[in-house]
Structure 1
């Protein structure tokens, strides 16, 4: 006999969603769905990346970054409020820009590297201004997922565990980002033979630098959460979906379409400490829902 409970539940959920949207105040509905729209556009533009080259690919790169940052800020604003959204942006993009400016000038904390500043828009102190936006777009889903995987209370232990997951996730995301952008010539390193197996062109110091910067960000974001707590449990569907797409979609893209099998493996493993528990959590919730129906 075919079990139709899952199908009936999906139809029921979709019906409730449609009825809710139909009866919603358009002035409140539009902000709520905007992050989902920008997230879908983000996916579509990223799919076009492997199919492009040259100037077109540079433009797609900028568009991807802008859409990812817009998705992050809009979702944060609609679920946590503009004060928290602005705080997140200032912390992550601000620290990201500061770290990049210091990094390109001194080699600390990432190692000696330089951007191709004539390709992806205007630059400040040899750092393209689109780069700090990438920090916000890439790390917002990781911060949200890290929070989902940690028991939410006011204890120091919970804050430390979330911060640890955030640092691991930030480095994991960079295991996709750096190999892809280096292969595309967006930045280059002075040391090109001191990296992970299959990724010698990116030195170990880069990942240590990411861990350090992400740890400082996590500390400040923890303070932000204390100062501007949410009024209720916010919806996290959009950033969770973006995280899943980044993890699994990037693995597929690097392995099949971009010719970067090493970063496909390293990136998958790097985000797995967040991705696998997230999948298990979703599975347990689905099982619990089945038992109640």
Structure 2
């Protein structure tokens, strides 16, 4: 098991199948954005079927990988946690993130002035692609759950565990955006554009405040809903959420490397990946100790 990822779970569960498709779609998108598009002669030399496939991938590739990411976490949440906890997190995440995005694209609050281009699917109210709230959900859920399960191993009050999960979960979510946003808005085929250029690789610092606040709000609402039916945290596998977070972070990191943006990668690793590893170590440390104690007793 590496970083809390059980490969057997990925290859033998429905959520794992969606996860595999999600990662393959991201890899295909990276190849198109970083290898194929910068070399138009390669596209011109493709057979007609290849040109059609590439054209289709540029139109719908982003939509597919985000739908598959949502599917992986939705199926995982339903099977691992149950209907109440799945919907109790997903509905606030979708509605609150969509509200923030609609405000952002129409007023500039809370992220700064920006607008979405084509490539991410049908736009709600002509402003926000329907896939954007899906990504808020599956990355926000993964960030929150990993943090909350890790904190559950600490001998601190439950309210402090919940508060820590909200704060660090929102931080992990925002750290992913550190790496993703600069590259995706300035790639050869950008998916959104900043109308308010800022100091952080073309982005305003306000964007990250908006990201953290939006994540913290829907995580807080979900926390209150989950309290109605307390979970048994020690029985939760983190394989799928961990793979989703690291897979999407890897996608963003490669995009940033392609754009020559290294400071965002450093910040993302410092504030996202390293805390993630710490929480995973906490989550599995007690489990390992329990297994060792059982082995000693049986001997």
Residue 42 (structure 1) shift = 1.3
RMSD over equivalenced CA pairs, Å: 3.0
Aligned-residue offset at 1:243: 2.4
Contact 1:250 1:264 in 2 (8 A): no
CA change 1:244–1:123 in 2 (3 A) is: closer
Closer/same/farther in 2, CA of residues 257 and 171 from structure 1, 3 Å limit: same
Could you say which residue in structure 1 is the equivalent of 2:212? 211
Map of 2:46 onto structure 1: none
User: Which residue is equivalent to 2:186?
Assistant: 183
Displacement after TM superposition at 1:96 (Å): 0.8
Give CA-to-partner distance per residue, 1:187-225, whole Å, 9 cap, x none: 111222322xxx2x1110000111111121121011121
Aligned residues: 262
Deviation at 1:287, TM superposition (A): 6.8
CA contact under 8 A between 1:192 and 1:203: conserved in structure 2?
A: yes
> Which deviates more, 100-109 or 150-159?
150-159
Secondary structure in structure 1 of the residue aligned to 2:230: coil
The verdict on how the C-alpha distance between 1:215 and 1:39 changes in structure 2, with shifts beyond 3 A counting, is same
Q: Does the 8 A contact of 1:110 with 1:209 survive in 2?
A: yes
**More divergent stretch after superposition (185-194 vs 232-241):** 232-241
Paired residues of 1:34 and 1:74 also in contact (CA < 8 A): yes
> Given that residues 49 and 61 in structure 1 are in contact (C-alpha distance below 8 angstroms), is that contact kept between their aligned partners in structure 2?
yes
**Shift in alpha-carbon separation, 1:132–1:150, aligned structure 2, 3 A:** same
In structure 1, runs of 5+ residues without a counterpart are: 1-5, 7-12, 22-29
The reply to whether residue 43 of structure 1 matches residue 27 of structure 2 is no
Please give the TM-score of this superposition, normalised by the length of structure 2: 0.77
Q: Which has the higher contact order (CA 8 A, sep 6+)?
A: 2
Partner of 2:63: 62
CA distance in 2, matches of 1:159, 1:283: 19
- What TM-score results when the alignment is normalised by the length of structure 1? 0.78
Contact 2:27 2:251 in 1 (8 A): no
Cα pair distance change 1:265/1:250, threshold 3 Å:
farther
